[in-house]
Structure 1
Amino acid sequence: MTKFKQLQLPAFRSKNYRLFFAGQGISLIGTWMTQLATVWLVYDLTNSPLMLGVVGFASQIPSFFLAPFGGVFVDRFSRYRTLIGTQIMAMIQSLALAGLTLTGVIQVWHIIALSLLQGFINALDAPARQAFVPELVERREDLANAIAINSTMINGARLIGPAVGGLLIARVGVAYCFLIDGLSYIAVIAGLIAMTVKPWKIPVIQGNPIQRVKEGFIYAFSFPPIRAILLLSALVSLMGLQNTILVPVFAETILKGGAETLGFLMAASGVGALSGGIYLATRKTILGIGKLIAIAPAILGCGLIAFAISRFLPLSLFTMLFVGLGTILQIAASNTFLQTIVEEDKRGRLMSLYTMSFLGMIPIGNLIGGGIADIIGAPNTLIIDGIACIIGSIFFSRQLPALRQMVIPIYEQKGILARK
């Protein structure tokens, strides 16, 4: 038992985090199955890269406009109760999608409308989820490990979900992916209900929501390290993640495959992301994380360019490993850094801005990527995306020494440098 405790990851010492991990792990597999099934269904109904972009735009654009207000909300109200509510609404959305598909009446406008609804849910759920993680761990020093494990969990699901989803689509159809996703929310809701959570203390808040949003923007963008992270995340989301809606074009049109090919491509990306998540989860300190944030977009960019050029499935699968690795290193490392240095009373608002820079820019990128792919083709589009990510990596790397000097006082205040 003693040896087991020594091997146990720090975040798992907290009962609430174990419950959160178990519930989310099951639910996220269903979420990735639904993402795969949605893009496949849209491409099957329309054969249009542009429509893939439109659906991706609808599912994420609410995060761009509403995430800052979601941050104000989760700084004001119980994050625990907020998450229970968003998970119930997400379950209803997935079951509605399943019902429409099972009855054979599904149309593209149904998918767009339900994707838009999911976007509204995510605009509140994402900042609440990010801000809730510190409440799950009993020791402050376990926070970085919890964030890294979250990334591993998400990308473990990203590996399993698309692979299973591709097989289900090929065997029984997309409707059952939606149905399984809807039922999987039961696990996360049950996990949340089983937690023992401290009563929420209503903070004393001055000013109206608009003033609170403005205060959050000023806090984030007046400090160069936070501003640089948010801008780099926005670039990666705008350009680097267009591949998520263009992969069906490669699977069917370029690689001459089907739903299973699509599932394998997304699963390969998940393997790379899972590897990055495991690496981050086993890091014992946040020191040096700036270098990871700097190099991650370059890894992603090189992976995108190689994937765009490939016409051989095994090579395409290999290149997707680097796409997934670069993506998760950038997202998770940035998240860990921001969660570590943020002032507690501004955590919800900063994480909402991170959600805005990450999830909020994806819809714009999806729309741009789908439109450009309709004109110059999906491969040329991803080559442009890859070049943009590499340029962003170079620019951030040049800023890194100056940014590091600004962060050192915060690390000293929090005792991080003392534990080096």
Structure 2
Amino acid sequence: MWNDIFLKFNIYMEYKKYPLEWLDLLITVTLNPSNTDVSVITQEQADHIESRLREEILCLQSFIKGQVFSINKENEIDLLIKQYHASLIALLDQTIRNQEQITSEIKLIQDLNKSLLTNIDELLSFLETRFSKYISLDERVPVTYLEVTKHEFKVKTDRLQKCISHDPVVKLLIKKLTHFVTASTYPYELTFRVVLYLRELINGLEEIDWIRSNREDFSQLEQLLIYMNFNSKKFMNILTDRLANEVNCYEHTVERMDKLLYFYKAYNQLHRKPDTKLNPKYRDLDTVINNWFSQEIVYLEKKLRLTVIPLQGSTATTSRNGTKTIQKILCVLSTDQMALILRATDDLRIIHAKSLTEVFRTMAPHLSTPYKEDISHEAMRSKAYNPEERDRQIAIETLERIIQRIREY
């Protein structure tokens, strides 16, 4: 036990001088064919290096977290993370140069270098995931770093392909990831932002439970892509086609509207990651999908109006004494939903009347719904104080659509 404590104390004292010292010496001296005859390294020494390497990476992660935690100034944290990131990329480059100088016969050293590449890449991933805000995301990715990253992504993509289904979204993702790891040229600049986006996307895909495929609104995969602002035109088309097909399964326009509003609500309740986007030069996923929802809702509203009004004939009815014609306005909301909105406007004193009952008594004769031509003001008053959760949700969604439309004016 005391030996372990003493060893950890020695490692800690080494870290206080230069945290990457052991890793640096191993790569630039011990395993560098230009400075050392690596062929004399024995299996026992290699095993010791391998064992120490794993412990070193875990200790470094813990030490870096402790350093960041102990610093109060953001600019000092920023400098610290950038120094670590640049140093690790330099060590990664040197490891690859070492590997290129080793002949295939010295398999022991080749395996050590492969292990080094894996562990340095893990440490870089730790920095880029935990402290991404301090990484210069728009800097171009170094070639050696890109090669190591592509190898990592290829291994994970191959593993994901075993889970592949007939889902067109899955096929689209596999195709994009496969192109990234196999292509030699790209139509966009390869920055750290691109790499970090793809790494987080792949990590998210690995967490999906592919066996549990049941969904009521949006699948786990769709939720991930919406969270990541995966603004691929093909994905947008696939998503809107699926939603349209599910809505159009219903025969009646009212049922279609109901299903569409349900999807609209469910979509806007999903989580989003701020300042994240697959293609920075194209519109956000939310912009395109919300516009699609708005256009579909407007279309169904007009269709609903056209199918109801001809059946009613004239929308004018006579008053109870038969002397005055009352012009009615058709509203696609139900009586309960209109009652809720009118109650809210009265509570906020947007409209003024002697009482809420007076509001309903005045307005009810001039309103009709697709299901009821004559509305009772007493029924409206009763429903306003005992709303069902479904009516409350539809009223809220309607007001949100009004707000969105006003913002577009």
* Fold match (TM-score > 0.5): no
Q: Which has the higher contact order (CA 8 A, sep 6+)?
A: 1
When normalised by structure 2's length, the TM-score is 0.26
Which is helix-richer, 1 or 2? Answer: 1
Larger radius of gyration: 2
